[in-house]
Structure 1
Amino acid sequence: MSDLFASDSDDEPSVPSAQQGRPLADQLRPRSLDEVIGQEHLLGPEGTLRRMIGSGRLGSLILWGPPGTGKTTVARLLADEIDYKFEQISAVFSGVADLKKAFEKARFDRMNGKRTLLFVDEIHRFNRAQQDGFLPVMEDGTIVLVGATTENPSFELNAALLSRSQVLRFESLSLENLEDLAKRAEALTGQALPLDEEARRTMLTLADGDGRAMLGLVEEVLASARPGEMMDTQTLLSVVQRRAPIYDKAQEGHYNLISALHKTVRGSDPDAALYYFARMLDAGEDPLFLARRLIRMAVEDIGLADPQALPQAVAGRDAYQMLGSPEGELALAQVVVYLALAPKSNAVYTAFKGATGVAKAGGSPTPPMVILNAPTKLMKNTGYGEGYIYDHDTPEGFSGQEYFPEKIGRHEFYQPVERGFERELKKRLDYFSRLRASKREGED
């Protein structure tokens, strides 16, 4: 699998890729690390990989990042830089037998004075047992493992494998990186892309940070252009159709976007929240999943600072279920904006966590006898309910009795904030606290 991309050397003729019969991504594959586009944090003068090469030693690596960002190419070039033999397998097509063959070959080559860099594409596709199989040959120096994955290694790779490797994050290519790549393609083919300025920028955006996808778009444009034609954005979109956003509803892209939506609502930024909400819908997310998350935000991040937040979120879900798509999404968008602009408080959330912790740690103490029912004569005679004060019979409608079990004593879990409706609740809480204290003084 090719990744990134350099133009052919000057002594080779520029021949359109269609005549050569090779994809542009293959023709533009870099021949040195200096020709790799992007990943300056790894390959720049002070980059991590530059420092490793400069030290003369290379440890096992996990290259983590989106498709088309140069992982395979960089692995191949690293082997060249340190004069290691490059071997490649794919976890999609390989099994235990293939691994054993690769390890035996690496042992043989090592006996003959040549070390092996084993590149494993899609390494997260190996199961836990297969991943454990790498550990002995990594530890005894048979191979230097370089694995590539598009998935978060923390979730997909064994802790033992991660502890023996350094994880390097590959970033999506910027628009500037993609423009540099487009220029290389134009130089190689000898053809300027027949796109006006806006259409050219649209093409770069459609690539979504994926260099290989970008070169595929270039090939489509060059193959489809009529003589003398200059495509605008609409023509471009009709030629290349539309590339689906990078988004897997079961993987990290999903969790990244829902995290971004939740945090922008919590951060009271309705514009950013609407953007991430729209991105998830555009990528095919289930609107009812988003509705459920909005309900959670209403209770977790707003709570009683705005008691209408939860009814608004529930009503948005109900409206979507009644209207369906696309009309129902507007109701959810309304909820997004309402929640983003609502006063924020996690006081109830924090109080509930605190109460849960005490409940789990405190065992099963009996509530005070004074608040226990006495449905039988025996229970009444043994003190159940004795001395209970009916709150409505007091002038303030508040008895001030102690309701916590004596064993754990009184706790104060709920601490309302000075925002929104919780300002009023704080006044009430303070009032009851003062009243409770005065009644206890009166009892004394």
Structure 2
Amino acid sequence: MSDTPTVIPRSPAPDDTLAFLKNGYLYGTRRFRKLGSDAFEARLAGMRATVMHGREAASVFYEGDRFSRERAMPSSVQHLLQDEGSVQTLEGPPHRHRKSMFMRMLDDASVARLIAAFEREWTRVRAEHAGHEVPLYDLGNLVLTRAALSWAGIPADRVDDRDLAGRLAAMVDRASSIGPVNWVARVRRRGAEEWAAELVADVRAARVQADPDSAIRTIADGSDDHGAPLPEEVAAVEVLNLLRPIVAVSRYLVFTVHAMHTHPQWHAKVERDADAATRVANEVRRFYPFFPVISGTVQRPFDWRGRDFEPGDRVILDLYATNHDERIWEEPGRFLPERFEGWDGDPNTLVPQGGGDAATGHRCPGEAATIALTARFAQLAATRPFSVPDQDLRISLRHIPALPMDRLRVQMRD
């Protein structure tokens, strides 16, 4: 593959939608190799787009305020993962102002409280399921939902945590689906939004007592960049945008156990060394499939690789291909946590949750929490509180989002 092609080639197919569905996470990687370029033009779902990957591509995509995320994704995806008026759909001063609210809620002290809540809930659920075989993914969804609610300051009597766990998980599980499965998930999301809107209204009216420093109080008191209170429906969307990504970490919990089961030498290293646990967490995030791509529409014209990008042009950054780019990562197809010892932290190389700067750009503000949760769970799993029965541990890269075939069942120890 040429590192610096002078012309962006086009996919040979008149429309790549079927190729994307057939290849899943490997769609971009296979096209990049075939075309000998780190970028190509294609038609997806009837719309023209430039697909790209790599450190330079991530820098172009995330830096310089070149792109807008509003309506950049299909509505079936946007309405499950973001919805109207959310922080992800904003740009410029409105985005930076709203993003600052999330950064405050997810500072180091707050992340430490979230980890403590997660450990409490893990201990509780582990005791509940002692001696039983359970799918770790489903268990993780419940533990993370309970931890997120407790951490956010949402009273337990204001929510059915099992029901909410299912709704939040479905927002991610069904985002790439089309048709009735996606429609049902969107209906379930609307129900969660109604719950969140009622909760916000009750916090504002003091019918629910919320700690002044709690996340739910911060969102309820949130304002736009002109100082006006957030509309109730927008605040409700942001409540879900806080809770849903925490629950989505359940996939990384599954992948962590998958990695340590297939690379058992890491148990002893992780159990005694928090830094080793963090290296494992980062390698899990790099190696395993999470979100495959992110898309944006050009809002400021620019030139790249000999092409003029004009407002409205659609660009897709391949996150999975960037995390497996051999120009960045030595032996990208191997699980090697040691690669993160002394890592420089380049924000445009490890991009499972986006690239660029979290404080000013669209990189996920909860990334530090994701790393901390995954690393702490790696340490908990290293004590072998469960065994992994014989099962199909293969992970199909054609299915988005991916999980092991048998969802990774574990036998909880007594």
Q: What is the TM-score with the length of structure 1 in the denominator? A: 0.17
Higher Rg: 1
Q: What is the TM-score with the length of structure 2 in the denominator? A: 0.18
